[in-house]
Structure 1
Amino acid sequence: MSPSENGGNAVTPTSPGDERSAVATSADVAHLLGAELPGTRVPATGTAGEVSLRELAAAVARLVIYAYPAIGAPGREPITPDWTSIPGAFGCTAESCSFRDLASVIGDLGGAVCGLSTQPAAEQREAAQRLELTFPLLSDHAQTITGRLRLPTWSAGGQRLLKRFTIVASGPVIEHVFAPVPEPAAHAGEVAAWLREN
């Protein structure tokens, strides 16, 4: 049974011993290659309601889905006081802005971008508006997509968050996964280069 066919929503980290790291490794995401995006609809910014990854992928040659732990906001306390010292946790705003700045380049290469996290939809709406994002952020707060695809997660402040990685899908099929993502602010350029070469 492929991850997309798994009807269960149980979410377990793929790196049980790495609960204090937001860095997804290649081993964490190896099972995603060849898997199909689920049709599960979740809240998305820039839309009137909900959308699925499968729907987004059907509209473009390639869909770039960058998964991130959580975008902070001015005046909002971090999820945990040591957020900036946790490997891979810091950099979600910079990564989102880099994808915003290169969205047209990725579009010229036949792709489209979306962000995915377990943050509540209201927090994503605030971030999308403040950062002037030109693509949707999808809220898997109920962790349905996370469970179906067995996406790598970690814990912070009593919350289950996605690790940082990026999926490239051609139609409904995942054809490439970037992990680890060592420099979030430069990652969109890395994705654009891969699209150009492939």
Structure 2
Amino acid sequence: MSLQAGVKAPDFTLPDQAGNPVRLGDYVGRKVVVLYFYPKDNTSGCTAEACSFRDSYESFTDAGAEVIGVSSDSVESHEKFAGRHDLPFVLLSDRDRAVRKQYGASTLGVIPGRITFVIDKDGTIRHTFSSMTNIGGHIDEALKIVKELAADDH
């Protein structure tokens, strides 16, 4: 069962595609975070999802949000994936799937799921969207919530 809206997002630190540690807690108080878990680099659905986030990235950043992708692929795999598709956002390597487990981002408890969490500036999960097949829904739903949060900020 994935974490639901209203729950504090568990903090974690994972390496990005350059091998640098990224801590979720560093964004608290500064940015809304769109944290999306996906199954595997370079698969058709995951490539489509990453490219959709890439194509909407400016809309997310304009609304004060940062996009972060997470899978159990290696740092090297993420580096190649990000380079091949010109991904402007961070991809984190969760090799032992510990963060995926914390967030309950699996299907049937075992298959790596495709789940997006929108985490507000206070570190609280405001929205979750889970679908293996509705790729566009992840981007559309997340952007809608991010824009609502930005409007609330002003």
The number of aligned residues is 148
* Counterpart secondary structure, 1:32: coil
Q: Does 2:60 align with 1:110?
A: no
Gaps of 5+ in 2: 150-154
Deviation at 1:118, TM superposition (A): 1.3
Question: How big is the alpha-carbon RMSD for the aligned residues of Structure 1 and Structure 2?
Answer: 2.4
Greater length-normalized contact order (CA 8 Å, ≥ 6 residues apart): 1
Matched-pair contact (CA < 8 Å) for 2:57–2:67: yes
Return the TM-score normalized by structure 2: 0.81
Structure 1 consecutive aligned stretches of length 4 or more whose deviation exceeds 4 Å: none
1:165 maps to a residue whose letter is: I
Deviation at 1:71, TM superposition (A): 1.6
Return the TM-score normalized by structure 1: 0.65
* Counterpart secondary structure, 1:112: strand
* Counterpart secondary structure, 1:64: strand
Cross-structure match for 1:92: 46
Q: Does 2:141 align with 1:190?
A: yes
* Counterpart secondary structure, 2:147: helix
User: Against the structure 1 CA distance between its residues 186 and 33, is the aligned structure 2 distance closer, same or farther, given a 3 Å change threshold?
Assistant: closer
1:169 maps to a residue whose letter is: I
User: Against the structure 1 CA distance between its residues 186 and 51, is the aligned structure 2 distance closer, same or farther, given a 3 Å change threshold?
Assistant: same
Cross-structure match for 1:169: 119
* Counterpart secondary structure, 1:122: helix
* Counterpart secondary structure, 2:27: helix
C-alpha distance in structure 2 between counterparts of 1:116 and 1:56, whole Å: 16
User: Against the structure 1 CA distance between its residues 162 and 56, is the aligned structure 2 distance closer, same or farther, given a 3 Å change threshold?
Assistant: farther
The share of aligned pairs that are identical, in percent, is 28
* Counterpart secondary structure, 2:118: strand
C-alpha distance in structure 2 between counterparts of 1:175 and 1:189, whole Å: 15
Cross-structure match for 1:147: 101
* Counterpart secondary structure, 2:73: coil
Per-residue CA distance 1:127-168 (angstroms, 9 max, x = gap)? 01111111100111122212333332469xxxx652011000
Cross-structure match for 2:152: none
Q: How do 1:57-96 residues align onto structure 2 when only pairs under 5 Å count?
A: 57-60=28-31, 62-72=32-42, 90-96=44-50
